[in-house]
Structure 1
């Protein structure tokens, strides 16, 4: 930030980008956290949607939130950016156009940043299209999960959706009558017969589209559907396993775990189930809902990278627009 005769040039600003599995949210704020612009587009996870679609979505959000001049700092947190090839592609794409400095990191890192405004040990658990647990101990990052829909992401939105669709197809194989959950999912997918789901998924749906089926499973769980409960309780067990893995690796048995991501927005029961699984073994671990959206973490990182302290004014301004 430029200081002239003790006055701060307020129009210097930062950009934060949260690239989740299903959507990307970007915001531009002044150094004090005051929101200037915000925009949402599709996923920028190259591993999930490919480079061309990721490129279009990233350019869209940056074009929509930029101001007349370049931002001081732009922090982009997204799944898939651990991959050096993907990082290089994004840096070549941006090429200094939108900010004086661009920082690429993971969506887990920026989500974790939103938990760091108070004391004590913290962990973030993300359950959206994918799933991951993340924390830092003495500055060292620790993660569990987040290995993608083919190799992991247990308990995630995609995992839940795949489990539900698999149940439908098994029921069809065995000649069972469609269940209430089956009919709900078939209606969402706009198919008349269970076997039509296969063609729909393979020919028309991407990873993000499949993961959206999890919303219906989570809602059915909230309504007391037994079939949905079976799937969601298994998801809760898998997500609790991620938490317990990091507790064991870190040796920290007293901490706060913040739940973030689209699946948690649909299901309070899922958080309760995770809480029971974890607290049975680690009673001093507190499971709670994350208060801020991931983009707020990217903004916080950008403000600090610009050389400024996150003070009470910044927090107040963030609370005005970035609550989850």
Structure 2
């Protein structure tokens, strides 16, 4: 049986088939993208993989039944199969983790936190409300907030910060209003979030302020669920933790004796191998 495993993040889509894995440089933002855009992107994936017998996908947003149904129908029509399993990204990570009591934080383009007690079959979610209603501390949020502060500077509402020059270069702004072009792109959320690795590689007061604000809220979410399940094991997942500065700032928010671990790097291959 030819099984396609998909780990779809907000900035990259990782897939595995026949023990071969690869990364496609586009995000799968189910809550922000149109059906037409998602159909186009999954069709690009099919051109690479060819026909498959089964799809097992980890995708943020499918905890919502309407989004899950929409995504299922798109995959069904594109790949012309019915054998499709869709899991929320954090639930997929939980199911391939062997600990009995632990918490998982995802912090990439978006954020989510969950505490898991497999002994008593309990799960406690904190966050995961999407880029419009929450996701403070995420890659998207960090970039969005830097853009908002840049526009305040341009409107003479705040002082200059060193990150603004990098922002202008990255988004190729010949004039301030060019920033609005981001909103006309199909994958605007991915495009905005893609500035975060640049931001986290530089130093400025604004960056310090944003990272401190974001990691403080993220750490508090984790503390809440860890307390509920009476555990000190915290798994980290997502692109922002690749930044040593972001990781160190986040870890410093914990006074407790927390055991920090990173989740599997090959979730897509575990999915393709029948782990779910």
Query: C-alpha offsets along residues 29-69 of structure 1, whole Å, 9 cap, x if unaligned?
Result: 3xxxxx145452523333121111112222322442346xx
Structure 2 portions without partners, runs of 5+ = none
Matched, 1:174 2:156: yes
| TM-score of the pair, normalised by structure 2 | 0.86
Residue matched to 1:277: 253
User: How far 1:288 moved relative to its partner?
Assistant: 3.4
Residue matched to 2:213: 234
- Provide the alpha-carbon RMSD of the alignment: 2.6
Taking the TM superposition and a 5 Å limit, the aligned residue runs for 1:1-324 are 12-29=1-18, 35-36=19-20, 38-40=22-24, 42-66=26-50, 70-71=52-53, 73-95=54-76, 97=79, 101-114=83-96, 116-117=97-98, 119-138=99-118, 139-174=121-156, 178-193=160-175, 195-204=176-185, 206-220=188-202, 224-248=203-227, 250-255=228-233, 257-265=234-242, 267-278=243-254, 280=255, 282-283=256-257, 285-299=258-272, 303-305=274-276
Query: C-alpha offsets along residues 91-116 of structure 1, whole Å, 9 cap, x if unaligned?
Result: 333449566731111112223345x1
| TM-score of the pair, normalised by structure 1 | 0.74
SS state of the match for residue 146, structure 1?
A: coil
Flag the structure with larger Rg.
Answer: 1
User: How far 1:130 moved relative to its partner?
Assistant: 0.6
Query: C-alpha offsets along residues 257-281 of structure 1, whole Å, 9 cap, x if unaligned?
Result: 222212222x112111211212x1x
Which stretches of structure 1, 4 residues or more, deviate above 6 A after TM superposition?
none
Query: C-alpha offsets along residues 110-139 of structure 1, whole Å, 9 cap, x if unaligned?
Result: 23345x14x453322111111111242224
Q: Answer whether contact 2:55 2:83 (CA < 8 A) is retained.
A: yes
Alpha-carbon spacing, 1:101–1:216, altered in 2? closer, same or farther (3 Å): same
User: How far 1:76 moved relative to its partner?
Assistant: 1.0
